[in-house]
Amino acid sequence: MGRAKKRRKFAVTKKIVSSKTLKKYKEEILNPKKKDLEKEKLPRNVPSVSSALFFKYNTALGPPYMVIVDTNFINFSIQNKLDLEKGMMDCLYAKCTPCITDCVMAELEKLGQKYRVALRIAKDPRFERLPCTHKGTYADDCIVDRVTQHKCYIVATCDRDLKRRIRKIPGVPIMYITRHKYSIERLPEATIGGGEGHFISKNLKKSFIQREQNHLLPPADFT
């Protein structure tokens, strides 16, 4: 038989419980109600839900639409040779007012000579200027805070991070550029054109026109 290997013996140490831990343990067992009262005293920050979101869609949205424009949205519009106001109207079939915050304006001014055309477009009198009261000039935070408080805006951006942040806010549509034109995300048909029954989608409109041409339907007015 082989010999068993000798192993080093470790001293057995006793865990010493401090007097503070004992006191705390006794208080928890003897006074369980005290712990519950402390929890109740803590302030609860419950975010208030906008009354405009009472129905399935945001009732605060309607023509004329207020569209908050981001720095890169103006820049991509220039690259795609798109007129902001005309492109928005073609997308939403209603009057649109492009809005620009002081933060976005400051951001464009900081970018310098490269974005001089974008800055000139931002200074267009058709744009509505939204004043900022907070400190700092980070445009993304400013737009997110404004849209969280007031659900009457559409956010126009091509920034992925900003889109991700806005998607977490209910009832706020996103406008972006795809295939050299503006497209809208998260805007139900009920809010386009001023309410339910006032909007006919492009495909539906085409099908009606085709039926009219084939003399299957009486002429309809789409104005």
Residue 121: Cβ within 10 Å count: 21
What is the CA 6 to chain-centroid distance, rounded?
68
- pLDDT beyond 60 at 193: no
Q: Residue 47, preceding bond cis, omega within 30 degrees? A: no
Encode pLDDT of 123-138 as tens digits: 999 999 999 888 876 8
pLDDT of residue 38: 62
pLDDT band at 198; cut points 50, 70, 90: very low
Q: What percent of the chain has pLDDT over 70?
A: 70
Would the CA dihedral through 132, 134, 136, 138 be positive or negative?
Answer: negative
Q: pTM for the complete prediction?
A: 0.65
Indicate the angle between helix axes 71-79 and 84-92, nearest 10 degrees. 90
pLDDT of residue 199: 39
Residue, of 68 and 209, whose pLDDT is higher: 68
CATH of region 57-192:
3.40.50.1010
